[in-house]
Amino acid sequence: MYVWSDYLMWNQGQIETWADMAAGEACRALANQRQTSGDGWPYTRYAVAEIGGSGYLMMRWGTVTSHADCPS
Protein backbone atom coordinates (compact mmCIF):
# COMPACT_ATOMS: atom_id res chain seq x y z
CA MET A 1 0.00 0.00 0.00
CA TYR A 2 1.34 3.42 -0.94
CA VAL A 3 0.21 6.67 0.67
CA TRP A 4 1.36 9.79 -1.18
CA SER A 5 1.19 13.52 -0.47
CA ASP A 6 1.91 16.24 -2.97
CA TYR A 7 1.08 19.08 -0.59
CA LEU A 8 4.29 21.10 -0.32
CA MET A 9 3.10 23.89 1.99
CA TRP A 10 3.75 22.04 5.27
CA ASN A 11 6.73 22.75 7.48
CA GLN A 12 9.00 19.88 8.56
CA GLY A 13 7.10 19.23 11.79
CA GLN A 14 3.78 18.99 9.94
CA ILE A 15 5.31 16.63 7.38
CA GLU A 16 6.62 14.35 10.14
CA THR A 17 3.26 14.38 11.94
CA TRP A 18 1.42 13.53 8.71
CA ALA A 19 3.88 10.74 7.85
CA ASP A 20 3.51 9.18 11.31
CA MET A 21 -0.29 9.34 11.12
CA ALA A 22 -0.44 7.99 7.57
CA ALA A 23 1.94 5.12 8.38
CA GLY A 24 -0.14 4.12 11.40
CA GLU A 25 -3.39 4.22 9.42
CA ALA A 26 -1.94 2.26 6.48
CA CYS A 27 -0.44 -0.36 8.78
CA ARG A 28 -3.67 -0.82 10.75
CA ALA A 29 -5.71 -1.06 7.53
CA LEU A 30 -3.44 -3.84 6.25
CA ALA A 31 -3.52 -5.62 9.62
CA ASN A 32 -7.33 -5.44 9.71
CA GLN A 33 -7.61 -6.81 6.18
CA ARG A 34 -5.19 -9.61 6.96
CA GLN A 35 -7.08 -10.46 10.16
CA THR A 36 -10.42 -10.72 8.35
CA SER A 37 -9.04 -12.45 5.23
CA GLY A 38 -6.64 -14.87 6.84
CA ASP A 39 -3.31 -15.85 5.39
CA GLY A 40 -4.80 -15.63 1.90
CA TRP A 41 -4.29 -11.85 2.01
CA PRO A 42 -0.88 -11.43 0.34
CA TYR A 43 -0.23 -7.74 1.06
CA THR A 44 1.94 -6.91 4.04
CA ARG A 45 3.95 -3.82 3.08
CA TYR A 46 3.17 -0.13 3.23
CA ALA A 47 5.05 3.04 2.33
CA VAL A 48 4.39 6.72 2.95
CA ALA A 49 5.96 9.23 0.57
CA GLU A 50 6.00 12.90 -0.34
CA ILE A 51 6.05 13.90 -4.01
CA GLY A 52 7.89 17.13 -4.72
CA GLY A 53 9.23 19.08 -7.66
CA SER A 54 12.41 17.01 -7.82
CA GLY A 55 10.93 13.56 -7.28
CA TYR A 56 9.69 11.75 -4.20
CA LEU A 57 10.87 11.14 -0.68
CA MET A 58 10.04 7.83 1.02
CA MET A 59 9.28 8.83 4.60
CA ARG A 60 7.94 5.74 6.37
CA TRP A 61 7.65 2.08 5.40
CA GLY A 62 7.16 -1.27 7.01
CA THR A 63 5.90 -4.81 6.93
CA VAL A 64 2.87 -5.84 8.97
CA THR A 65 1.48 -9.18 10.09
CA SER A 66 -0.47 -7.94 13.13
CA HIS A 67 -1.52 -4.72 14.87
CA ALA A 68 1.50 -5.07 17.15
CA ASP A 69 3.71 -4.25 14.15
CA CYS A 70 2.03 -0.88 13.60
CA PRO A 71 3.36 2.50 14.70
CA SER A 72 1.06 4.31 17.11
4: left (phi over 0), alpha (psi -120 to 50) or beta: beta
Predicted confidence (pLDDT) per residue in 19-29, tens digit = 999 999 999 99
Give dist(CA 18, CA 60) in Å, integer. Answer: 10
pTM: 0.85
How many domains are contained in the chain? 1
Give dist(CA 50, CA 48) in Å, integer. Answer: 7
Domain that includes residue 39, residue range: 2-69
Give dist(CA 18, CA 16) in Å, integer. Answer: 5
Is residue 67's pLDDT more than 80?
Answer: yes
